[in-house]
Amino acid sequence: MLISIDWLKDHLDDPDIVILDTRPKTMFLYGHISKSQSLSIEQVIQFDQYGANLVADEKKITELFSSLGIDDSKTVVLIGESMDPSAARIAWTFLYFGHEKICLLDANIFDLQKNGFDLKKGTFAAELTSFIPKINSGIRIESVLLQENLNNFVILDARTPQEFMGGHLPNSKLIPFTEGISYGGKLFQDKDFLENLFSQNHISKDKEIVCYCMHGHRASSLFLQLKIAGYTNIKLYDGSFVDWYGRRLPLE
């Protein structure tokens, strides 16, 4: 799922590669690498009555991904920043809609400049395709099912300790997403580090895991960290704390 700057250099002219910049649109317009297109977090979410950031509906995503030139033949490369979980939330969205050919550049955007990439201001228009969604419902969970099975899941809270102490889902365990990100020019810590992190927190690979945070963005980063560490049975509660609290469900 993670690719290097060298890999991106070698595949930059590959017609089956779609490069998406997940930073806010204003930052993208200020400068981005050639052949990249903007896909920001607000384009792949929709709000419920409580203000939760839920996954966007199938019709919207189908039209959006088709406009970006994405179909089954394309490998999507996401570019982001380690402290911004937007790339992770967008990656999860691709997985939810059944697009497995998804990679994250394991570097920050400005590391590209240090390695010979120029940031440009011109736009790149992809050829329109027909994206066909294949919903993977196994990686998403809603509040009703979660509430009915609180004791059957390992529930991980990706927020800060301060947020956790202010109230959290019953039986949940705090693992801030920041513990698994890198501060040395990459997006995430390596697999060995992440395996050790989750092992020390007694997270078994045999259990069903649910990740949540405030809006489902930081939890998406934790979701990917678990995948990198070799965990496979993971769900994202995209409604997260905002949805849970809005429904007046129990807290600890």
pLDDT of 199-216, one tens digit each? Answer: 999 999 999 999 999 999
Question: Which one, of 69, 79, 136, 138, lies nearest residue 104 by Cα?
Answer: 79
d(CA 92, CA 102): 9
Q: Does one domain contain both 14 and 124?
A: yes
Q: Does one domain contain both 29 and 123?
A: yes
Q: Does one domain contain both 118 and 190?
A: no
pTM over 0.85: yes
% of residues, the chain, pLDDT over 70: 100
Q: Does one domain contain both 121 and 19?
A: yes
State which of 92, 110, 136 marks the end of a domain. 136
Structural domain harbouring 148: 138-246
d(CA 31, CA 118): 9
d(CA 173, CA 204): 13
Do the domain assignments include residue 251?
A: no
Q: Does one domain contain both 19 and 131?
A: yes
State which of 108, 136, 164 marks the end of a domain. 136
Q: Which 8-state DSSP code applies to residue 123?
A: -
Q: Does residue 2 surpass a pLDDT of 90?
A: yes
Percentage helix, strand, coil, to 5, in the chain?
35, 20, 45
Q: Does one domain contain both 121 and 156?
A: no
Q: Does one domain contain both 144 and 76?
A: no
Question: Would you say 82 and 218 are in contact if contact means Cβ atoms under 8 Å apart?
Answer: no
Q: Does one domain contain both 112 and 145?
A: no
Task: Please report the pLDDT score of residue 93 as a whole number.
Answer: 98
Q: Does one domain contain both 106 and 209?
A: no
Do the domain assignments include residue 252?
A: no
Question: Span 6-15, mean pLDDT?
Answer: 93
Task: Please report the pLDDT score of residue 31 as a whole number.
Answer: 92
Question: Would you say 53 and 47 are in contact if contact means Cβ atoms under 8 Å apart?
Answer: yes
Q: How many CB atoms lie within 10 A of CB 127?
A: 6
State which of 112, 136, 160 marks the end of a domain. 136
Task: Please report the pLDDT score of residue 116 as a whole number.
Answer: 86
Q: Does one domain contain both 175 and 125?
A: no
Q: Does one domain contain both 188 and 102?
A: no
Question: Would you say 75 and 81 are in contact if contact means Cβ atoms under 8 Å apart?
Answer: no
Q: Does one domain contain both 6 and 127?
A: yes
CATH of the domain at 147: 3.40.250.10
Question: Span 155-169, mean pLDDT?
Answer: 98
Our count of domains for the chain comes to 2
Exposed e or buried b for every residue in 6-19, given b needs 16+ CB within 10 A?
eebeeeeeeeebbb
Q: Which 8-state DSSP code applies to residue 238?
A: S
Q: Which 8-state DSSP code applies to residue 140?
A: B
Do the domain assignments include residue 203?
A: yes
Q: Which residue has the tokens 């990249």?
A: 36
Question: Would you say 122 and 31 are in contact if contact means Cβ atoms under 8 Å apart?
Answer: no
Query: Using 50, 70 and 90 to split pLDDT, how confident is the model at 113?
Result: confident
